[in-house]
Amino acid sequence: MSNSPKKKLVTLTIDGFQVTARPGMTVKAAAAKAGITIPTLCFLRGVSAIGSCRVCSVELEGHDGFITACNTPVADGMVIHTDTERVRTYRRNLLRIILADHGLDSTAYCFSCAKNGACQLQALCNAYGATEPAWRVEQERKPILESNPFLAYDPNLCIRCQRCVGACNTQARNHTLHTAKRGMRTTIEAPFGPDWKATTCESCGCCAAACPTGAIVEKRRRTYRSWETRRVRTTCPHCAVGCQYDLVVRNNRIVDVDAAPGQTNDRRLCVKGRSASFDFVDAPDRLRTPLVRNPTTHELEPASWDEALDAVAEGLGRVKREYGPDALAGFACSRSTNEDIYLFEKMVRCAFGTNNVDNCARI
Amino acid sequence: MAMLSVAPKSPDDERLGAFVDDFRRRVDSTPLGVCPLVVTLTALETAAGQTCGKCVPCRDGIPHLVELMRTLVDCDADASVVDEMRELSQLVRDTSDCAIGYHAADQLLAALDAFSAEVESHLERHACTAGIGQTVPCETGCPAHVNVPGYIALVAAGDNAGAVAMVRKDNPFPTACGLVCEHPCEAKCRRRLIDDAINIRGIKKYATDQAPADHVPVPRRSPDTGCRIAVVGGGPAGMTCAYFASLMGHRVTVFERRSKLGGMMRYGIPAYRFPRERLDEDLRAILSVGGIEVKYGAEIGTEEFEALRRDYDAVFVAIGAHTGRTLSIDNIDADGVIPAVQLLGDIGDGAEPDMTGKRVVVIGGGNVAMDCSRTALRAGAREVSIVYRRRQEDMTALQSEVLSAVAEGVEMVTLEAPAAIEVDDAGHCTALLTQPQMTGPIRNGRPSPVALDVPQHRIPADLILVAVGQDIVSGPFNAAGMPTNRNRFVADDALRVPDMPGVYAGGDCQTGPKTVIKAIGAGKVAARNIDEYLGYHHTLPFDIAVPAPHPNDRTPVGRVNIAERPARERRCDFAGVEIGMSAQEARQECARCLRCDVYGIGSAEGGRVQYE
Ligand code: SF4
Ligand code: SF4
Ligand code: SF4
Ligand code: SF4
């Protein structure tokens, strides 16, 4: 019965609007169809829907408690209210409780936080008038884990929403980052401490990308503020998978990379794509002009593209004439795009006349 | 003159009664995986709240212990805090005036010892031990980790065959467990907080009643691996291992000593509790996987075992615990004195004992004693008495079994220790002589009997059935090098036999007599680990989706229990005693499930105990 492939659409009422939805759709998604936004904090589509923050709680008529819109599937005849006085009060107070757990002192009320301006907790608190923590907690300052070259975890800022856990387990599928227990307290065991090399963490940064606060960040995030940047959508040049991402650019310099919902990566990136694919653009020792070796001095000397390409064509042509096409081979750099690689391969096969062609990308 | 009053001194005492009942349910359902120091702290806080406020150590000491304990729970304590706690607890224990004070301190000291590993982890690692952390209660409590909320949801959706398949994903004996499982899954059921545990076993029985296991197709066997596995013993552990190993594509040969499969489920559990045709449903389904060869009448001795080790890639020893323990009292070998396992075993092979007109005495207080006594009634016995040296509430049998036996007319003769057997000239027993006992000090959680200084009693008996425990015939395997401890095979948590690569042991023969579901759990562990040992890592495909949950209905509703046929009727035959749940009852019972796979910890990473 329940497993039959053909399922009827269901109709429910959200804030007075009749909404038709596919079975299995969440209340949040159904509400979005009707143009109603239900705020979420611990929810991240495809990554985590554990319903820990309860910020998306809405009223369901005929039900004792509230339901969480992020992970409750729609059912026929549901009557849901997402914006009553009680919903708004609960929402604000939940945010204030989370705020009390957020170690605001450690960042001088967001001032020194790397995510200031890009923090979802900050944005939600602003939107729902949660201006003060629900209560004061005496919190000793816990040490920040930042031995990993790329990533840092600040337990003082962690609100234990567990998005990072979902990211490492279901998105990166690396199963490194877990929750642990300290008596009654759930804590995050982030593998960025002094023994980071001994862990199975790949430094992919999916956890940092998932973290709604400044608790887990790529360290480079501390060097810019999001409002100073613009984004340029591009394809990762590091291998042939073709992950989509945005280059984060400040003053015409790439300062970071942000995963985009690409066909092949759906907001994921590996450590190479996220942390090793843009620094070289502005590297001081990067070659900015072709170099041709002077046959007499044997020194490399700057040359124009025409001179350089002529030299290459002449040299390769000579080898081909003297020793035949199979004396040549082409080996492309893995940082080339698929389009570049295609043309390269075309050149080797058609111009060189050999099938000796490969690329070092091995992902 | 002051006026007297009939009103209670504290008007809320009565209301408090109901409140405490509710509180007790919360304590009873303490989630699995909770930090034991947290529970200790809670107990201590309860004690602090109970102090009458008279004596210094209790009134002022316990609240301070609470503070110290809290720093330990929070992992902020160092060893000196624990020392201070011990010292102060000793003072409270030794100087408090009443039990509210000294029992609290005693309990704390006992907890610090019992949970020493946890204490150490809090002090050294500033975190709980690795195993701490909650998981779905029913699925965790089940030794085979059956996806309980999953199959309950399928039954609720009317898909009983899907439910049977869901059980079978982790346990190939859905019928056996529907009928005779001791249901450890129900112990911590979260629904207890609201009213009572879900009748998890009953729902499973309903599913297998509606969709018999042998009518629900088993998954397709994985491609043949050519690996050969010998399973010694065709009981719940052996057949579970055979089922999963065969599904993974290995070739299994089961060596069964008797003429039929099922082990204790056939040769120990009477048919009125587990009708044979129902057992055959599970067995038929298991064998329908293919790739399982059964050799009946196969006695495995030392040489045969050594040959198995040579000829097979892996061996799983699951021979159960099939011999009866005995008592060292006079004339225990007399005619008419029969070991319980022998009686039940013979019945398993088709014998129909006739006890018409006999006075039968059963010695023992476990489930086997209940099985024997109820079997004797059905075999026509005139009177059946169970003789037990402790009290009825101390019996190790399930209380429901005891009550069923009483209802059918079994006499419980408690606090009588067997002293000797009286025989006639022909050497046949005529009576059991017993020494009256009184209940005494509690040791290992049970009051131990103390002989009363009064003359012995004489209980006339034409037949005496001895049900004082079972033993394992591990000798032949021991001779081949398998280590044993008190006749039980020694194996690690992965069921590997030390220094015998490829040999695994599990079930009753490794744990001592336990439950069917524990043996099933062991069979599954063995199959998985043998698969890894053989260099594979099979995952078993499963594509039945769990229906979406409905938001929890929090209205308290009574638990549907499984009814039994009237005692006076059922005691006359060997037909099954239990009556099935109606569809209406099953629907209500399923609707009570709180779907802990979705609500609560089950939705978080690491909240489930499920294998692929
Ligand atoms: S960087 Fe990647 S692998 Fe490491 S903890 Fe984060 S998500 Fe897991
Ligand atoms: S580190 Fe970030 S994502 Fe992870 S639990 Fe803490 S706040 Fe949530
Ligand atoms: S309420 Fe349901 S899911 Fe939760 S423990 Fe009980 S049976 Fe299991
Ligand atoms: S899921 Fe939420 S309500 Fe349930 S035990 Fe966990 S924290 Fe409490």
Chain A residue whose CA is closest to B544: A3
Ligand 3 centroid to Cα of residue A206, in Å, is 33
Compute the mean pLDDT over every residue in chain B, rounded to the nearest whole number: 96
Using the beta-carbon criterion (under 8 Å), do B159 and A64 form an inter-chain contact?
A: no
In this prediction, residue A217 carries a pLDDT of 97
The ligand that comes nearest to the alpha carbon of residue B200 is: 3
Alpha carbon nearest to ligand 1 atom 8, residue: A168
pLDDT above 90: percentage of residues in chain B: 95
> What band does B306 get if pLDDT is binned at 50, 70 and 90?
very high
Average pLDDT rounded to a whole number, residues B406-431: 97
- ipTM of the shown complex: 0.84
How crowded is the C-beta side of A330, counted as CA atoms within 13 Å?
23
The ligand that comes nearest to the alpha carbon of residue A196 is: 1
Considering only CB atoms, B127 lies closest to which of A75, A162, A180, namely A180
- pLDDT one-digit tens code per residue, B254-305: 999 999 999 999 999 999 999 999 999 999 999 999 999 999 999 999 999 9
Nearest-atom number in ligand 2 for the CA of A158 is: 6
Between CA A194 and CA A174 the distance in angstroms is: 20
Contact B185, B138 (CB under 8 A): yes
Q: Does domain A10-83 have CATH number 3.40.50.300?
A: no
The ligand that comes nearest to the alpha carbon of residue A103 is: 2
- pLDDT one-digit tens code per residue, B227-252: 999 999 999 999 999 999 999 999 99
Between CA B361 and CA B379 the distance in angstroms is: 14
Residues of B in contact with A70 (CB under 8 A): none
Average pLDDT rounded to a whole number, residues A178-194: 93
Ligand 3 centroid to Cα of residue B160, in Å, is 18
Nearest-atom number in ligand 2 for the CA of A165 is: 4
The ligand that comes nearest to the alpha carbon of residue A270 is: 1
Residues of B in contact with A182 (CB under 8 A): 74-75, 122, 126-128
Chain A contact probe: residue of B159, B605, B608, B612 with most A CBs at under 10 A = B605
What CATH class has A225-286?
A: mainly beta
Inform me whether the pLDDT recorded for A4 exceeds 50: no
Quick one: how far is CA B51 from the chain centroid? 38
Pocket test for ligand 2, best of A162, A165, A176, A187 (most atoms within 8 A of CB): A162
Ligand 3 centroid to Cα of residue B26, in Å, is 14
Inform me whether the pLDDT recorded for B9 exceeds 90: no
Residue A324: CB atoms within 10 A of its CB come to 11
Average pLDDT rounded to a whole number, residues B210-222: 97
- The architecture of the domain spanning B228-318+472-533 is 3-Layer(bba) Sandwich (3.50)
- Whether the domain at B228-318+472-533 and the domain at B324-467 fall into the same CATH topology: yes
Cα dihedral B440, B445, B446, B448 sign = negative
Q: Does domain B324-467 have CATH number 3.90.1150.220?
A: no
CB-neighbour burial class of residue A119 (10 A; exposed 0-12, middle 13-18, buried 19+): buried
Ligand 1 centroid to Cα of residue A277, in Å, is 18
Say which range, A47-61, A325-339, B51-65, B195-209, has the weakest mean pLDDT: A325-339
Residues of B in contact with A75 (CB under 8 A): 550
Alpha carbon nearest to ligand 1 atom 3, residue: A201
Vertex A239, ends A237 and A240: CA angle to 5°?
105
> What band does A6 get if pLDDT is binned at 50, 70 and 90?
low
Pick the CATH number of B29-124 from 3.90.180.10, 1.20.1440.230, 3.30.70.120, 1.10.630.10: 1.20.1440.230
Inform me whether the pLDDT recorded for A239 exceeds 90: no
In this prediction, residue A360 carries a pLDDT of 81
> What band does A363 get if pLDDT is binned at 50, 70 and 90?
low
B580 lines ligand 4 (CB under 6 A): no
Domain-by-domain residue ranges, chain A? 10-83, 112-120+129-223, 225-286, 291-359
A186 closest CA partner among A101, A115, A67, A71: A101
Contact B469, B449 (CB under 8 A): no
Say which range, A76-80, A274-278, B337-341, has the weakest mean pLDDT: A274-278
Between CA B358 and CA B346 the distance in angstroms is: 19
Alpha carbon nearest to ligand 2 atom 6, residue: A158
Pocket test for ligand 3, best of B188, B190, B204 (most atoms within 8 A of CB): B190
> What band does B526 get if pLDDT is binned at 50, 70 and 90?
very high
Residues of A in contact with B122 (CB under 8 A): 182-183
CATH number given to B137-217+556-599: 1.10.1060.10
Residues of A in contact with B159 (CB under 8 A): 1-3
- pLDDT one-digit tens code per residue, B570-590: 999 999 999 989 999 999 999
- pLDDT one-digit tens code per residue, B351-391: 989 999 999 999 999 999 999 999 999 999 999 999 999 99
Alpha carbon nearest to ligand 3 atom 5, residue: B189
B600 lines ligand 4 (CB under 6 A): yes
Say which range, A201-210, A279-288, A317-326, B75-84, has the weakest mean pLDDT: A279-288
Contact A291, A285 (CB under 8 A): no
Vertex B345, ends B341 and B350: CA angle to 5°?
155
Ligand 3 centroid to Cα of residue B311, in Å, is 45
Pick the CATH number of A112-120+129-223 from 3.30.70.1150, 3.30.70.260, 1.10.1370.40, 3.30.70.20: 3.30.70.20
Using the beta-carbon criterion (under 8 Å), do B605 and A72 form an inter-chain contact?
A: no
Where does ligand 3 bind, in terms of residues with CB under 6 Å?
B 137-138, 148-149, 189-191, 198, 200, 593-596
B601 lines ligand 4 (CB under 6 A): yes
Domain-by-domain residue ranges, chain B? 29-124, 137-217+556-599, 228-318+472-533, 324-467
Inform me whether the pLDDT recorded for A53 exceeds 50: yes
Between CA B565 and CA B574 the distance in angstroms is: 12
> What band does A1 get if pLDDT is binned at 50, 70 and 90?
very low
> What band does A314 get if pLDDT is binned at 50, 70 and 90?
very high
